[in-house]
Structure 1
Amino acid sequence: MAIYPKLQNKPPPVMTTGQWVLTMIVFMIPLVNIVMFFVWAFGRGNPNRANFCKALFLFTLLVRLSV
């Protein structure tokens, strides 16, 4: 008998199409895109968006280093 309640691992909420469109629009705005890129990548927001930003960062870094 455990006296601690079981933690429920709920999956993160799925981002809607509108949220993805808004994300892409923000990435089109100069300077704002750089700030929001790091806020979304390393903040405590939606993990789907955070993983996307981290993957995009690695991809961008790879492209920049290969040129």
Structure 2
Amino acid sequence: MTSIDSRCTAASAEAPPPTTGRRKSLLFCPTCEFESSADGNWIVRATADERELVCPDCRSTVATR
């Protein structure tokens, strides 16, 4: 039978890696670099089939859903 070593090692005792401080649900405008959460300051243009998220600064379409 093999024994299991349950001691803490330096690698397992380290703190998790630091976060970048950005939320994962941020959208970025590729034209002017505006950023906001998906449910944030974007202009929403709704049609019968989809909705467009438009940058409030430069009016570029960022996403179509």
Relative contact order: is structure 1 or structure 2 higher (C-alpha 8 Å, sep ≥ 6)? 1
**TM-score computed with the length of structure 1 as normaliser:** 0.21
Give the structure-2-normalised TM-score.
0.22
Structure (1 or 2) with the greater strand fraction:
2
